[in-house]
Amino acid sequence: MIDFDETTAFRLFRRLGVGQGTFAMYLLICPSEDWSIVEDDLKAEADVQLGVKLPLNDIEVLLREPSLAGYCSDQSVSAFRIKELSHAVISLLDTHVVRLERSGGQLLFLSTQNTAEQLLVQTPNFRSRLTEVLRITPDPSIGELTA
């Protein structure tokens, strides 16, 4: 297993704050059992640090969007779950990655280790344009911080 750098929603949004207004794509790897906590963390940090509501949808939502760039550019940050790979998702992320790029926004893709590895192998154009691949863990609770 490749050991990507670890982050939390707090630290990730601190970085996103610096790069606000520029295009960025992060692939976030997380075991599926932690997804709901991490998703809540991401939404909370988007609200607190950037003052925005984070839209978080399955990646398939983009397949139904005629204006892909338009969908993403309506938001400064958008997050998508990649639960499984299909030909359509690979085509969207690889062949049409420039459409995501043109959105100019910051895009977060949440995936498991296994799916992320398969995805990166099959999407060289997407891999090349990723800002970073990170392992994301739930933010420590206040109790853990003070313990």
What SS3 class is residue 93?
helix
The nearer residue to other proteins, 36 or 114, going by C-beta atoms, is 114
d(CA 38, CA 30): 8
d(CA 21, CA 144): 34
Bridge partners of 135?
6, 29
Which candidate, 110, 88, 99, 89, places its Cα nearest to that of 7? 110
**24-29 and 6-8 as β-strands: parallel, antiparallel, unpaired?**
unpaired
**The tokens of 25 are what?**
């794509």
The nearer residue to other proteins, 14 or 53, going by C-beta atoms, is 14
**Chain residues 107-136 in contact with other proteins, contact rule CB under 8 A:** 117, 120-121, 124-125, 127-133
Rounded least distance, CB 22 to other proteins, Å: 5
Bridge partners of 29?
111, 135
Among 34, 102, 137, 138, binds other proteins (CB under 8 A): 102
**Chain residues 23-62 in contact with other proteins, contact rule CB under 8 A:** 23
Rounded least distance, CB 54 to other proteins, Å: 20
Rounded least distance, CB 36 to other proteins, Å: 26
The nearer residue to other proteins, 36 or 65, going by C-beta atoms, is 65
Q: Which residues would be at the binding site for other proteins (CB under 8 A)?
A: 2-5, 11, 14-15, 17-23, 90-91, 94-99, 101-102, 104, 117, 120-121, 124-125, 127-133
